[in-house]
Amino acid sequence: MIKALQFLSNKNQSFSNNYLLVGDNDFLYLFIKNQIVKKSQKKDETFVFDCADKSDPLDQLINVLGSQDLFSNDKLIIIKNINKLNKKSSEILLNNFDSDISHQIICIDNNFLSYDYKSKSNSIRSAITNEFSKKLDVIDISTPFESEMKHWIHLFAHELNLKISENYAQKIIEIFGNNFSEIYNEMSKSSLVSSNEKDLLNSLEKSGNTHKEKQLWELNYAICDRRVDAIFENGLSIMKQYGLSYVINSMFIVLEAIFITKKNNGTLIEASSKSIRGNLLKRIRPATNNYKLYELEHAINIFAQTDIKLKTQKIIDETEFTNIINGVFRDE
């Protein structure tokens, strides 16, 4: 199994007909699929088969795989969710993967990969997918660690013919983390702006402010709805960019408004609503149904204790943030 970055970075990479893409990142699947298609130039006709869709008959896929004659064009055949096949169907399909097939075949398993801490490498979870990996070239499309993102930034810059500095690369990672879709869209936009370093950074700063505001609204809405996973995901992303103090202050403002509203039988007093505006203001009263009063009191105490810790102790931000989420939102 080869990592996506390694596969794309190898300028001498020879492209084969059959690939298996495994991992959770949808953007990487689309990006690598497009690179393979571009290099192979087999795009006269595309056939998509989803193994998770019971209405897609396997016989139809087998017929397409075998449809090769002097008058037929080479096809791009995409087979999604191969891990959903049963043992019998997977054996039938594998028996039809002939090395002489000239069609471009891309199989996909979008499951998360297992990580082996000893070998520091990913491995395939599904036994069915493992069988396919013996016949196909396997590419790991799992979301990489942020430490690898600079390499991806430079690869995208080359793809977009965009000249960037290390300062730009670092800044875009600070804003978007390892969100490939946001990064690529921003870099595509930058490639149309200017090649001037100052203009690129100014454009990036504006996008960063918009992104920050969007993330804050998503975090606030998630708090009102008590969607714990979304609170954790958005809060962690904001924390990595702006620090623990910033994110807990933002969360405290919303929870305090919910607390005061619940304590006052659904009335949000002016003093507590000074930082709550627009659509968020309308969500505060319904949000009181998602929390008990003692839970909100407990949450405010946790935030107060964290504030003291930040001022008096050396703490690990990510660990402390995880403890806050567990203490405030998961303890019902």
**Residues 142, 125 contacting (CB under 8 angstroms):** no
User: What pTM does this model have?
Assistant: 0.65
DSSP 212: H
CA 161 to CA 164: how far, in whole Å?
10
The token pair at 7 is: 């596969």
Hey, what's the torsion of the CAs at 41, 43, 44, 47, to 10 degrees?
A: 150
Q: For residue 140, what pLDDT is reported?
A: 92
Q: Which two tokens stand for residue 19?
A: 């690939």
Structure tokens at 73: 């064009």
**pLDDT attached to residue 13:** 64
Q: What is the pLDDT of residue 36?
A: 83
Mean pLDDT by 10 residues, the chain (332 residues): 86 74 89 82 74 83 72 76 90 77 80 73 85 90 83 90 87 81 85 75 76 81 91 84 84 91 78 65 90 91 88 83 85 52
Contact by Cβ (8 Å): 219, 250: yes
d(CA 223, CA 289): 12
How confident is the model at residue 274, as a pLDDT?
Answer: 55
Q: What pLDDT is attached to residue 44?
A: 60
- The token pair at 82 is 């191969």
Q: Report the C-alpha gap between 309 and 319 in whole angstroms.
A: 13
Give the pLDDT score at 138.
92
